[in-house]
């Protein structure tokens, strides 16, 4: 039978979808996005927009392929079960039992009975999955953690993903060995709250240190980490371990202490700034990107202006900007909203600032030599990513999934162009 998978949302979803893809291929299913007998949609619910998009895609696929088996899983299902039940879906899962995709499809093919599985338990075991090779990315994602205990006032995810839990330490190492053996040179460690990793007395720093000993693994990247988890042990590792990518994504969410408190974040501006100074004292050229929520309740004009100035002061290399989206059931949804037109205006201001910060960061590397991992070829350019997460364009066609040493020649409209000076592997 033929199948396709549609993935929305985060890197955790991407990992879980890759697992389902690999399992189906291993069991003699054939990937065919044009004529699928089975459609799997892995949904997202981080914002209202994500929920709307997930539901829209489910309805679209149902109309387009009325005779196909429809499997819908993930956060949006967990958050909107009744809406999805009304769509007459064949297999419906929340955030548990995605690893059982083959038995579930097999059972449905046998008895044609619709299946719905949903649990509101928070204390769940880590649902172990294992991938041998990422087919959709040159960089392989490794899901090492699930769940969140932070309960930021605006966030629905702790209610949908359950409590924090982590992948077995030795299994994580063994999976990376397999991924490297199958050609991956960069691993991206990902989770819902990645920095909370803890298994058998081993924390994230211990895991990174163990992975860095694997021959052939050139880079270890962390998808996202909270400022409060950048402890002395991690910073020492950052200083001494060259395999850790020269890039950290550290969510800020607001640059106002008033709003940070309302968000139930675990730091203030002073703590954030001092920690960034520590990081840059270790790695002066590191890329630090962040998430910014705009228009959270209680974000006054004064708070927003303070926010903008703080982003300039920290001098991020990029801002990922998200207009605040009220999520029913969270504390923030009961707070007085910011007008939508004000939110839109502030979003545009931060997006403009992000473009400027990104351009300034890229300009710093003109004439400098950086390592690039080649990932794709398009329109006579080989495109790759540096350790500090700069996307670089090389004129001509070069081998993919290779590490090259290159010199940045110019930056045009936010794109860095370079030429190769050597091959590193």
HEC assignment per residue over 26-88: HCCCEECCCCCCEEEEEECCCCHHHHHHHHHHHHHHHHHCCCCEEEEEEHHHHHCHHHHHCCC
Tokens for 349, please give them: 């201001």
Cα atoms in the 13 Å half-sphere on the side-chain side of 265: 26
* Cβ atoms 304, 293 nearer than 8 A: no
Tokens for 248, please give them: 């950290």
Residue 132 resides in a domain = no
Tens-place pLDDT, residues 304-360: 999 999 999 999 999 999 999 999 999 999 999 999 999 999 999 999 999 999 999
Distance of CA 408 to the CA centre of its chain: 27
**Residues 157 and 285 placed together within one structural domain of the fold:** yes
**Residues 266 and 148 placed together within one structural domain of the fold:** yes
* Cβ atoms 46, 160 nearer than 8 A: no
Element housing 358 (H / E): helix 340-363
Residue 69 resides in a domain = yes
Burial category of 290 from C-beta neighbours within 10 Å (exposed 0-12, middle 13-18, buried 19 and up): buried
pLDDT score, position 74:
94
Q: Is the pLDDT of residue 425 over 80?
A: no
Q: Which CATH number characterizes residue 104's domain? A: 3.40.50.12160
Tens-place pLDDT, residues 64-121: 999 999 999 999 999 999 999 999 899 999 999 999 999 999 999 999 999 988 888 8
Tens-place pLDDT, residues 191-237: 999 999 999 999 999 999 999 999 999 999 999 999 999 999 999 99
For 118, phi then psi, to 5°, come to: -150, 135
Tens-place pLDDT, residues 367-386: 999 999 999 999 999 999 99
**Residues 223 and 278 placed together within one structural domain of the fold:** yes
The total number of residues written for the chain in this structure:
425
Confidence of residue 52 (pLDDT cuts 50, 70, 90): very high
**Residues 95 and 242 placed together within one structural domain of the fold:** no
**Residues 322 and 263 placed together within one structural domain of the fold:** yes
* Cβ atoms 23, 29 nearer than 8 A: no
Tens-place pLDDT, residues 143-163: 999 999 999 999 999 999 999
Number of domains in the chain: 3
Distance of CA 230 to the CA centre of its chain: 18
Q: What is the mean pLDDT of residues 390-406?
A: 95
Q: What is the mean pLDDT of residues 235-252?
A: 97
**Residues 223 and 335 placed together within one structural domain of the fold:** yes
pLDDT score, position 43:
97
Confidence of residue 287 (pLDDT cuts 50, 70, 90): very high
pLDDT score, position 422:
86
Say what angle helices 11-26 and 101-111 make with each other, to 10 degrees.
60
Distance CA 80, CA 72 (A): 12
Confidence of residue 135 (pLDDT cuts 50, 70, 90): confident
Q: Among 356, 385, 410, identify where a domain stops.
A: 356
Distance CA 374, CA 163 (A): 37
Nearest in space to 70 (alpha carbons), one of 16, 9, 5, 22: 5
* Cβ atoms 74, 94 nearer than 8 A: yes
Q: Which CATH number characterizes residue 381's domain? A: 2.40.50.140
What 3-state DSSP class applies to 273? Answer: helix
**Residues 161 and 36 placed together within one structural domain of the fold:** no
pLDDT score, position 119:
83
pLDDT score, position 136:
75
pLDDT score, position 398:
94
Distance, first Cα to last Cα, the chain: 40
**Residues 151 and 299 placed together within one structural domain of the fold:** yes
Domain that holds residue 87: 2-117
Element housing 220 (H / E): strand 219-222
What is the average pLDDT score of the chain?
Answer: 95
Nearest in space to 386 (alpha carbons), one of 410, 408, 364, 367: 408
* Cβ atoms 225, 250 nearer than 8 A: yes
pLDDT score, position 347:
97
Q: What percent of the chain has pLDDT over 90?
A: 94
pLDDT score, position 392:
97
Q: Which CATH number characterizes residue 151's domain? A: 3.80.30.20
Distance CA 123, CA 126 (A): 10
Q: Is the pLDDT of residue 414 over 90?
A: no
What 3-state DSSP class applies to 119? Answer: coil
Residue 390 resides in a domain = yes
* Cβ atoms 313, 273 nearer than 8 A: yes
Q: Is the pLDDT of residue 137 over 90?
A: no
- The predicted model scores a pTM of 0.95
Cα atoms in the 13 Å half-sphere on the side-chain side of 7: 14
Residue 123 resides in a domain = no
**Residues 381 and 286 placed together within one structural domain of the fold:** no
* Cβ atoms 372, 402 nearer than 8 A: no
pLDDT score, position 12:
96
Residue 89 resides in a domain = yes
**Residues 287 and 315 placed together within one structural domain of the fold:** yes
**Residues 302 and 185 placed together within one structural domain of the fold:** yes
pLDDT score, position 121:
82
Whole-Å CA distances, 316 to 71, 280, 308, 332, 369: 40, 12, 11, 26, 21
Element housing 219 (H / E): strand 219-222
Whole-Å CA distances, 122 to 146, 157, 191, 254: 11, 11, 16, 28
Q: What is the mean pLDDT of residues 277-304?
A: 97
Residue 127 resides in a domain = no
Q: Is the pLDDT of residue 423 over 90?
A: no
Residue 129 resides in a domain = no
Distance of CA 113 to the CA centre of its chain: 34
pLDDT score, position 118:
83
Element housing 5 (H / E): strand 2-7
For 383, phi then psi, to 5°, come to: -115, 135
Distance CA 390, CA 126 (A): 33
Residue 133 resides in a domain = no
**Residues 347 and 377 placed together within one structural domain of the fold:** no
């Amino acid at each position: 039978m033929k199948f396709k998978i549609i993935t929305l949302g985060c890197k955790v979803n991407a990992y879980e979808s890759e697992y389902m893809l690999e399992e189906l291929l291993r069991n003699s299913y054939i990937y065919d996005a044009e004529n699928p007998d089975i459609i799997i949609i892995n949904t997202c619910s981080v914002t209202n927009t994500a929920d709307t998009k997930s539901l829209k895609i489910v309805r679209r696929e149902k109309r387009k392929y009325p005779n196909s088996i429809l499997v819908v899983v993930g956060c949006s299902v967990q958050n909107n079960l009744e809406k999805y039940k009304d769509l007459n879906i064949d297999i419906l899962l929340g955030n548990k039992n995605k690893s059982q995709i083959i038995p579930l499809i097999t059972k449905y093919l046998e008895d044609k009975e619709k299946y719905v599985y949903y649990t509101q338990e928070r204390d769940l075991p880590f649902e172990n999955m294992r991938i041998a090779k990422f087919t959709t990315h040159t960089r392989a994602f490794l899901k090492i953690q699930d769940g969140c205990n932070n309960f930021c006032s605006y966030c629905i995810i702790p209610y949908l993903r359950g409590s924090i839990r982590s992948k077995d330490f030795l299994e994580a190492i063994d999976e990376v060995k397999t991924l490297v053996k199958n050609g991956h040179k960069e691993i991206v460690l990902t989770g819902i709250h990645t920095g909370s990793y803890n298994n058998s007395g081993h924390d994230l720093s211990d895991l990174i240190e163990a992975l860095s000993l694997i021959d052939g693994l050139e880079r270890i990247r962390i998808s996202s980490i909270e400022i409060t988890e950048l402890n002395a042990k991690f910073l020492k590792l950052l200083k001494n371990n060259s395999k850790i990518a020269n890039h950290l994504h550290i969510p800020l969410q607001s640059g106002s202490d008033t709003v940070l408190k309302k968000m139930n974040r675990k730091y203030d501006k002073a703590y954030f700034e001092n920690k960034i100074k520590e990081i840059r004292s270790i790695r002066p050229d590191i890329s630090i990107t962040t998430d910014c929520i705009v228009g959270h309740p209680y974000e006054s004009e004064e708070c927003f202006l303070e926010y903008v100035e703080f982003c300039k002061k920290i001098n991020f290399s990029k801002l990922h900007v998200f207009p605040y989206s009220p999520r029913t059931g969270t504390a923030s949804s009961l707070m007085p909203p910011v007008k939508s037109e004000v939110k839109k205006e502030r979003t545009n201001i931060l997006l403009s600032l992000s473009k400027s910060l990104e351009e300034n960061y890229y300009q710093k590397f003109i004439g400098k030599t950086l390592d690039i991992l080649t990932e794709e070829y398009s329109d006579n350019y080989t495109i790759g990513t540096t350790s500090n997460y700069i996307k670089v364009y090389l004129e001509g066609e070069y081998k993919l999934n290779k590490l090259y040493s290159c010199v940045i020649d110019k930056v045009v409209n936010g794109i860095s162009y370079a030429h190769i000076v050597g091959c590193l592997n």
